[in-house]
A and B are shown apart, each in its own frame.
Chain A
Amino acid sequence: MIRVQGLYKRFGPQPVLRGLDLEVATGEIMVIIGRSGGGKSVLLRHLIGLLRPDAGAVLVDGTDITRLRGVALAQIRRRYGVVFQGGALFDSMSVADNVAFPLREKERLPAAEVRTRVDEKLAQVGLQGMENKNPAEISGGMRKRVAIARALVTEPEVVFFDEPTTGLDPILVNTIHHLIVQLHDTFRFSAVVVSHEIPEIFGIADRVAMLHDGVIVECGTPKAIQASENPIVRQFIQGDVEGLGADGVLAGGPR
């Protein structure tokens, strides 16, 4: 469904992605792991067309979205749902209006149907009765769930989660992970999840890709990743500080 080929990106003199390749199959949950500041979110922003690479391609069903603009890119994005790291809820709107927004603006459904679908989605993420709250009045975990409800309300084919559990307590982390799996089982969307929640994230992934030093150093099933002999992968999943350079960078990555 999504194929990333030879993606390069640098910000000023700093290379972030160095010829990255990745493939996400239809219907799978692909989790991208890697150290903070390692370029996971940059990769995600390329997948959703918010950044353009210096070189390389992002193919969605064979169409290179890095070459698309305007209406053509918007048509690809209509198939997407995105859950941003901070939720990115519109703070001038209530919870219900946030979830209803894509339906009202993109699909122009009748008000009654919008209401029904919003209630249904809020119920699925366990937020009944919160419709009239402002995003500022609800907790971080609730904001993430509202963001998930908003991303899923148009029933997209692919959902991107940018660190959906960052800053949440362990119980909420598991709650959000269970929610993602449950919604995935119901709607069968493809999902790309950026996370560094080890080992919890192995419970939801079909495949895991380890991003290090701008490339995917290992990609496989959670079991394969956990059994990996790659020292970078082992060091990351064990949280081992041995082998870190003076700058806190893992040793042994490609240069």
Chain B
Amino acid sequence: MSVPEGAAPLPAVLRPVAGLGRATLDVVQSLGRFGRFFAHAVAIVLVPPFKLGRVIDRIHFIGSGSLTLVVLTGGFTGMVLGLQIFLVLSRFGAEAFLGPAVALSLIRELGPVLCAVFVTGLAGSALTAEIGIMRISEQIDALTVMALSPTRYLVVPALVAGIVTFPLMTAIFDVVGIFGGYLVCVKLLGLSAGTYFGEMHTFVDFSDVMVGFWKSLAFGILVPWVCTYKGFHCGHGAEGVARATTQAVVLSSVLILVADYVLGSVLP
């Protein structure tokens, strides 16, 4: 908002207040744009024509591209968890609970969160950069003037792909993590395999799996939403794309943790 032409300048003492007001309006407007962007995508997600080819391409882009990273990080997360929890539990002679402790940590909390953060860093940033480059090279404008909806081509497929891939990637992260914990606890530290896996059956409930599933689903919507939004609204030139990519990763990561807390409080 600019000062209307011809209006008297504000007294110096009121300028910080005006600045605060402008900043508040900017934030509210940005939130409004952010919400409207998502609402527009949701409104057309079930309206034909469906871009199945684009959805499959995005699933490959997010899922297949991140698979190696998810397996690698999942395995090491499980190994670190196994080692650290073993060191704590062994002080109390409670090593029998190592398997459930590793599994519950991964399934309820670390699996969905870490997987989402890693996929954001890899696929989310690439998504923002790709759409940002399409924006600055007028490819999005080209879609618009062809009377085609850029949201339908670029946002909806990414959202659907996020909904499909994030729970699957999280499941892979959890399984590989539990196996990583098994390698450290059973093969390295000498715990029996029966103890490691047996207690899991006792303590890990289906509701725990569902908590992880709902979280991963929420992150699967959140990350493509943020990343496509930032790409769509990137600034000018290479610098604009670079800034949008950084903002997408930072904002996604923060929102993942916020949503994790909220869902962790709400879900059983």
Contacts and interface: CB of A to CB of B under 8 A. Distances in A.
A88 B138 contact: yes
Interface string B119-161: 0000000000000000001110110111110000000000000
Contacts of B141: 50, 84, 88
A86 B138 contact: yes
A86 B137 CA distance: 7
A106 B147 contact: yes
Interface in A48-70: 48-50
A80 to B, nearest CB: 6
A77 B142 CA distance: 11
B2 A88 contact: no
A113 interface: no
A88 B142 contact: yes
A247 interface: no
A84 B134 CA distance: 13
B139 to A, nearest CB: 5
Given A12-B2, A13-B2, A50 B139 contact: no
Interface residues of B, number: 11
A84 B142 contact: yes
A89 B139 CA distance: 6
Contacts, number: 40
Contacts of B147: 74-75, 77-78, 106
A82 interface: yes
Given A48-B145, A77-B147, A85 B139 contact: no
Interface in A139-176: none
Interface string A96-127: 00000110011000000000000000000000
A241 to B, nearest CB: 29
A90 interface: yes
Contacts of B148: 105-106
Nearest to A48: B145
A82 B2 contact: no
Contacts of B138: 84-86, 88
A48 B138 CA distance: 13
Contacts of B144: 50, 77
A80 B139 CA distance: 16
Task: Please indicate which of the listed interface residues A49, A50, A85, A105 has the most CB atoms of chain B within 10 Å of its own CB.
Answer: A105
Interface of A: 12-13, 48-50, 74-75, 77-78, 80, 82, 84-86, 88-91, 101-102, 105-106
Given A48-B145, A85-B138, A88-B139, 11 more contacts: A12-B2, A13-B2, A49-B145, A50-B141, A50-B145, A84-B142, A88-B137, A101-B146, A105-B148, A106-B146, A106-B147
16 contacts: A48-B145, A49-B145, A50-B144, A75-B147, A77-B145, A77-B146, A82-B142, A84-B138, A86-B137, A88-B142, A90-B139, A90-B142, A91-B137, A101-B146, A102-B146, A106-B146
